[in-house]
């Protein structure tokens, strides 16, 4: 039995194909973009039914909110912003940060180093104050925001430490594009 996981984008070397995938003569049609799928899932619809945390594009039940469009993030407690907005750096074109409404913090490591990427000095890239929340090792962590990440959310070191200290395992993280969120909620973009 052939099992195929289709996520609306297929990477083939440097090229990315969106929308259609053909495997053994069978063509699978996907959404026009990953955001179309993300904004219409049952989890997204449930998130869109909740009020927004004031000043953010995320539901008030989120503990951490990331807007990829504005490259900003917030910490939220009891539906109120307790820190932010702060600047971030997210994934680049080849390794985009995943969007979603119900990521959960599952691990934290204060002195984590990347097992995949090297720093400018050739040693494993440091990822201080890592708070992991999505498959593939996607985390909030301290780092140089002048360079895009490999899918993670890079914060200035004091912010990464604040996220690390405030978030706990199981806390909900939402990573969104504000314009898509507002459209899905029938609201004008701020």
- Residue ranges and CATH numbers for the domains of the chain are 1-30 (no CATH), 40-184 (2.40.440.10)
User: How much is the average pLDDT of 154-165?
Assistant: 98
Is the bond preceding 42 in cis, omega lying within 30 degrees of 0?
no
pTM, two decimals, is 0.78
How confident is the model at residue 153, as a pLDDT?
97
How confident is the model at residue 189, as a pLDDT?
56
CA 62 to each of CA 28, 41, 81, 125: distance values in angstroms, whole numbers, following the listed order:
33, 17, 10, 29
Measured CA to CA, the distance from residue 108 to residue 75 in angstroms comes to 16
Measured CA to CA, the distance from residue 161 to residue 114 in angstroms comes to 18
Maximum CA pair distance of the chain?
Answer: 52
User: Between 37 and 63, where is the model more confident?
Assistant: 63
């Amino acid at each position: 039995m052939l099992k195929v996981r289709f996520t609306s984008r297929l990477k083939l070397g440097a090229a990315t194909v969106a929308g259609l995938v053909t495997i053994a003569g069978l063509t699978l049609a996907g959404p026009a973009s990953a955001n179309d799928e993300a904004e219409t899932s049952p989890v997204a619809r449930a998130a869109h039914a909740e009020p927004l945390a004031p000043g953010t594009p995320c539901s008030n039940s989120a503990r951490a909110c990331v807007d990829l469009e504005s490259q900003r993030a917030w910490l939220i407690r009891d539906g109120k912003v307790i820190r932010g907005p702060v600047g971030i750096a997210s994934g680049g074109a080849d390794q985009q940060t995943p969007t979603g409404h119900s990521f959960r913090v599952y691990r934290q490591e204060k002195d984590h180093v990347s097992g995949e990427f090297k720093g400018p000095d050739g040693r494993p890239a440091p990822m201080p104050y890592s708070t992991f929340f999505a498959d593939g090792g996607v985390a909030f962590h301290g780092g140089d925001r002048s360079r895009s990440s490999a899918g993670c959310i890079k914060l200035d070191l004091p912010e990464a430490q604040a996220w690390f200290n405030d978030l706990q395992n199981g806390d909900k993280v939402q990573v969104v594009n504000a314009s898509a969120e507002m459209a899905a909620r029938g609201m004008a973009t701020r």
